[in-house]
Amino acid sequence: MKKRFYLRQKSNQSMSEFEDLLGMSLIPVVPDPAFINNLQNQLLSQIRSLPAKSKPSTDQIVLFAAAGLLSGTMFLLLGIRSIIMILSALGLLSQYKKSIEKERIPGSQTMV
C-alpha cells in the first residue's frame, strides 16, 4: 500500500516536472515584424484586386424574382402553344387521311 502510494506520488511529481519542462520549451515565438508587414501589404493589394462580392439588395431580389416568374410564364405559354400546334397538326393529318379514304371508297364501288 505504502509502496503504491509512493510510486503514484513519484509519478505525479515527475509528471509535474515534465509539464514544467514542456512549459519552458513551448514558449510563444514572435514572428519577424518585416514578415508581418510584408504579408499585410501583400494581402491588402490582393484584397483591392479581388472583385467586390456584396449581398444582393431587396430591389435586386424582387427584380430577379419578377424576371424569373415572367420567363417561366413565357416558357409555359410557349409549351402550351407548341402542344396545341402538335395536336392541331395531328388533327389535320387525320382529317386528310379520312378525306383520302372517302375519295377511295366511291372509286372502289364503281370498280365492283
Partner 1 sequence: MRNDLISTGFIKINSRRKWVHSLAELSDEVALTLAAQGDGVAFGVLYERYIGRIYNYIYYRTGNVHDAEDLTARVFVRAMKHIHNYKDRGLPFSAWLYRIAHNLVANWHRDNSRRKEIPLEDAILGWRPHDHPEHEIVQIEDKERLLNVLQTLSPDRQQLLIFKFVEQMSNAEIGQIMGKSEGAVKSLYHRTLLSLRDEYEKMSFGIIN
Which of 1, 27, 105, 111 is the binder for partner 1 (CB under 8 A)?
27
CB 87 within 8 A of CB 95: no
Min. distance of Cβ 50 from partner 1 in angstroms?
7
Distances in Å between the Cα of 11 and the Cα atoms of 24, 39, 47, 96 are 20, 46, 54, 104
Which of 53, 101, 107, 110 is the binder for partner 1 (CB under 8 A)?
53
Instruction: Answer yes or no whether residue 33 interacts with partner 1 by CB under 8 A.
Output: no
Single-letter residue type at 56: P
Which of 6, 7, 10, 18 is the binder for partner 1 (CB under 8 A)?
18
Which of 7, 9, 19, 93 is the binder for partner 1 (CB under 8 A)?
19
Residue with cell 472583385: 51
Min. distance of Cβ 24 from partner 1 in angstroms?
7
Residue with cell 501589404: 41
Return the percent helix, strand and coil in the chain, to nearest 5: 85, 0, 15
Using CB under 8 A, list all residues that contact partner 1: 14-15, 18-19, 21-32, 35-36, 39-40, 42-44, 46-48, 50, 52-55
